[in-house]
Chain A
């Protein structure tokens, strides 16, 4: 497989929906069962409570809830803020992905790590840091942004930049540069090269990333509450209020269905856009692709510098404040982390919480990566029959759904549906990694699928024709290009699990809290020592994640494209 022509993948490609396809279908049953039990069942249970209160269908809530002025305002804000957040994040993320995955410069690994850091910081801590910066006496107080929607958008970009940079960067890293160079040699301007060669090649990954970011923004919870000061409710915060405070399950069910419909529509549009742009690509090793910066890379590097500054401002504030107590520089906040007796507010020391977090993250990552790999392989196949193609597409979308549905709905759904054997899991410690895996799974799928789809199926067919067994053919054709994105996805899944708060706080047992849960407990207490410890623990969490991801990425997985 030395030369592969670039071809648009025609729908009627010879696919193998026979013996191996059957095996693949069976393999897909595992993630499907996972999704059914831990997502569809709980959500269905909550919807049933809302729409079938007395066992009879009662849709009277629909016009009533939709008629509330508040509902419309909440819907509108959710929609435009998520769209704006997505556009901003993608706009900033693309140049950064270029600089960090196409260029080679000293300190690149560090910058990559910095960009990922926000992704795992607990939202409540980031909210407090943003507000400290923007509050009227804060360093940026002059901007007058405190309590407006601006910080909410900034926070969307802050948290999700990593998603764009990594999803797009992973794709970009392996792209053969020669097509761009040929276009340039033939007289295309850099913009023409970007528009006609690079962008089409990246489109699937960009759409993937944008989809994820949109879902994250539209279901953002803590950060909207903290930064919006209650003025800017979203569908997610509204479902939370209706469910946990008002116990208005009817209203919550109506909003959940709206959320579901919106997410399905959006996924369908995204899938269409992806399908229209997906082509097979020649992929090369990262080494071959990255080059040293030239003069015309200055804008991209400039934007990257800006992005790093933007990320470092809240993170830096946090770090500085973690070393201060009562106006003095001190390590006291860090020392207290290892001492269970340092505050009566905690049942375990933060060091123990770190151990819990790491253990949970290992479970969640294994679960997410194994299931995600299966899903990615299945949905990257292109069956010949239109019906099967639709099944594959639906499957692809189904695993994205958990990101778009309120964590409260899923969490309360767990409580009312998983309450009897054989699924009496409500108090099982296994639910924590399961819930975290559910959040990480879409990221794994979206990182791997664009790469898998860019592999020409004829490579597999050629291998099969030469007598390789199907799995062997897949391994030979797809294994090499998959290795690096798989590592990236693993690191990402690990980070998601370490930073996950919403579902974890709901499910984690108090004697075995994870770090974000402990940080939340600390920050909700009076006393400067608790705030200081919360900040120190956040720094530990961020550094821990960065180190783990750095180590994972550094595992040299052969060099690609050299065989």
Chain B
């Protein structure tokens, strides 16, 4: 008996300890990937830079801190590392708000050298708290200038943008013989009772953007009344975009029963049915709030030159072109071609609703508390 037990225990232990652990197993992986990427990076370096240059000396590691939705193709990252001689490490930190607040919290001892993903709703906080160092890329695309953050022009470099808009399920409205709504005000009309779902402003970035859209549309003292009407008209508030879109929305893949949802201007192309040619949903372009995402060098960065190189890279044509497919945002560089489906089915708002960033920073907390009182009871 005892022998079996000892044997079994020894076996377990050996198995456990010998199977590669995260720390132990890594080294092997690391070498193999860097060898792989070396090859692809060479090609990329020649093609993207246009001329073959000797790779610069190893400039060490640069750390980029960004939000959860950041992703870029591996080839682009290796090409950047090859050209710059830097090793890019990426850290993620929740959504734009969490990211900004984390930077404020770790001010003076930042985790990273450079940030990407602070948006225009939190940009003023990052600027006024002094977590950013001044830097503007030399070849910032001209089309990016209209997206510069007021008061933060020297620190925050616009990288991409997108519109948060109310989306409607056209098929549902056609089947039910009702005309789809057009404006924010329409959502409070009786014919759209119990048809709208939105993620909450306190727990979701698009939710906050929608709150700001209503503030911008109705004014800082009137939006509360609008929200009361909206809630009285049966609007549903979920915690996140995911369950609003995939559970409650009629065209989000679930069996939802609400044909009006808060989402993005870029969402409709995803609802093109298999074998179909056009989306079954569209964004209401009079309801949009524009989100701009910025990059910036962090004050106290260990590798400021590396950080600047990352900001330059983010507005380079290669990265700009990769943004729509990878992060579902529109590149700030208007020279870059959009994916075909986007060009066709994901138009942007002509005149998005605007709220001044300084006002957002000053009032955000009050607005959120007031909103919570009205919308979440």
Inter-chain contacts of A505 with B (CB < 8 A):
68
Query: Is B270 within 8 A of A558, CB to CB?
Result: no
Which residues in window 500-529 of A have CB below 8 A to B?
505-506, 509-512, 520-521, 523-528
Within 80-112 of B, Cβ neighbours of A (below 8 Å) are at 89-94, 97-98, 101-102, 104-106, 109, 111
Q: Which residues of A from 220 to 262 have beta carbons under 8 Å from B?
A: 225-226, 228-231, 233, 241, 243-249
- Distance (Å) between the CB of A240 and the closest chain B CB? 9
Interface status of A430 (Cβ within 8 A of chain B): yes
**B350 adjacent to chain A (CB < 8 Å):** no
Residue in B8, B93, B247 whose beta carbon sits within 8 Å of that of A128 in the complex: B247
Instruction: Identify B22's interface contact among A226, A344, A432, CB under 8 A.
Output: A432
Q: Does B183 contact A (CB under 8 A)?
A: no
Which residues of chain B are near A245, meaning CB under 8 Å? Answer: 97-98, 101, 202, 368
Of the A-B pairs whose beta carbons lie under 8 Å apart in the complex, a sample of 5, sorted by A's number, is A131-B247, A135-B247, A229-B237, A230-B375, A415-B106
| A543 CB to nearest B CB, Å | 19
CB of A474 closer than 8 Å to a CB of B: no
- B8: chain A residues at CB < 8 Å are 555-558
Given contacts A230-B239, A344-B71, A363-B23, 4 further A-B contacts (CB under 8 A): A135-B256, A246-B365, A483-B9, A505-B68
Q: Which residues of B contact A358 (CB under 8 A)?
A: 19
Closest B residue to A224 by beta carbon equals B239
Q: Do the beta carbons of A429 and B105 come within 8 Å of each other?
A: no
Closest Cβ–Cβ distance, residue A523 to chain B (whole Å): 5
Q: Does B185 contact A (CB under 8 A)?
A: no
Known: A230-B200, A247-B101. A562 touches B1 (CB 8 A): yes
The answer, yes or no, to whether A137 is at the interface (CB within 8 Å) is: yes
Contacts of A135 in B (CB 8 A): 247-248, 254-257
B32 contacts the other chain (Cβ, under 8 Å)?
no
| CB proximity to B under 8 Å, residues A472-506 | 480, 483, 487, 490, 505-506
> A128-B246, A229-B237 are contacts. A359–B20 as well, Cβ < 8 Å?
yes
Would you call A127 and B90 a contact (CB within 8 A)? Answer: no
* Residues of chain B from 231 to 269 with CB closer than 8 A to chain A in the complex: 236-243, 245-248, 252-257, 263-264, 266-267
A395 to B97, CA, bound (A): 37
Q: Which residues of A contact B238 (CB under 8 A)?
A: 226, 229-230
Which residues of chain A have a CB within 8 Å of any CB of chain B? Answer: 49, 70, 124, 127-128, 131-132, 135-138, 147, 225-226, 228-231, 233, 241, 243-249, 326, 344-347, 356, 358-360, 362-363, 365-366, 412, 415-416, 419-420, 426-427, 429-430, 432-433, 480, 483, 487, 490, 505-506, 509-512, 520-521, 523-528, 531-532, 552, 555-559, 562-563
| Residues of the A chain whose Cβ atoms lie less than 8 Å from the Cβ of B241 | 524
Query: Given A366-B16, A412-B102, are A128 and B243 also a contact pair (CB < 8 Å)?
Result: yes
| Complex CA distance for A241 and B25, rounded to whole angstroms | 37
Decide: A524 and B105 in contact? CB cutoff 8 A: no
CB of B173 within 8 A of chain A?
no
Q: Does B377 contact A (CB under 8 A)?
A: yes
- Nearest opposing residue in chain B for A528, CB measure: B253
Q: Is the CB of B70 within 8 A of A510?
A: yes
Our pick among B4, B21, B94, B111 for the contact of A363 (Cβ within 8 Å) is B21
Once the chains bind, are B203 and A346 in contact (CB under 8 Å)? no
Establish whether residues B5 and A557, one from each chain, have CB atoms under 8 Å apart when the complex forms: yes
- What's the nearest-Cβ distance from chain A to residue B19, in Å? 6
Residues of B within 8 A of A483 (CB): 5, 9
Chain B residues within 8 Å of chain A by Cβ, number: 77
Q: Closest CB-CB distance, B354 to chain A, in whole Å? A: 22
Q: What B residues does A249 contact at CB under 8 A? A: 105
Q: Which residues of A contact B20 (CB under 8 A)?
A: 359, 362
- Complex-state Cα separation, A346 to B74, whole angstroms: 10
Residue among A138, A347, A512 with the highest chain B CB neighbour number at 10 A: A347
Does chain A have a CB within 8 A of B334? Answer: no
* B326 lies within 8 A of chain A by Cβ: yes
Is B273 on the interface with A (CB-CB < 8 A)? Answer: yes
- Most chain-A CB neighbours within 10 Å: which of B2, B9, B73, B368? B9
Within 8 Å CB of B48, what residues of A?
none
Chain A contacts for B101, CB-based, 8 A: 243-245, 247
Question: Shortest distance in angstroms between B36's beta carbon and chain A's nearest beta carbon?
Answer: 12
Residues of B207-226 at the interface with A, using a CB-CB cut-off of 8 Å, are none
Which residue on A lies nearest to B63, using beta carbons?
A427
8 shortest interchain CB distances as A-B pairs = A558-B5, A225-B239, A528-B253, A244-B98, A359-B22, A230-B376, A527-B270, A526-B270
Report the bound CA distance from A127 to B5 in whole Å: 42
Q: In the complex, what's the smallest C-beta–C-beta distance from A245 to chain B, in angstroms?
A: 5
Closest to A362 in B: B21
> Among the interface residues B4, B26, B69, B98, which one has the most CB atoms of the partner chain A within 10 A?
B98
Contacts of B325 in A (CB 8 A): 344
CA separation between A563 and B8, bound complex, in Å? 18
In the complex, which residues of chain B have a beta carbon less than 8 angstroms from the beta carbon of A429?
A: 22-23, 26
Question: Residue B328 at the A interface, CB < 8 A?
Answer: yes
**With A230-B202, A247-B104: A563-B239 Cβ-Cβ less than 8 Å:** no
Instruction: List the B side residues contacting A132 at CB < 8 Å.
Output: 247, 254-255
- Report B293 CB to chain A, min CB distance, Å: 16
B277 interfacial by beta-carbon distance below 8 Å? no
Whether, in the assembled complex, B139 has its beta carbon less than 8 Å from a beta carbon of chain A, the answer is no
Please indicate which of the listed interface residues B105, B109, B241 has the most CB atoms of chain A within 10 Å of its own CB: B105
Interface: B12 (CB within 8 A): yes
Docked pose: A510 CA to B64 CA in angstroms:
11
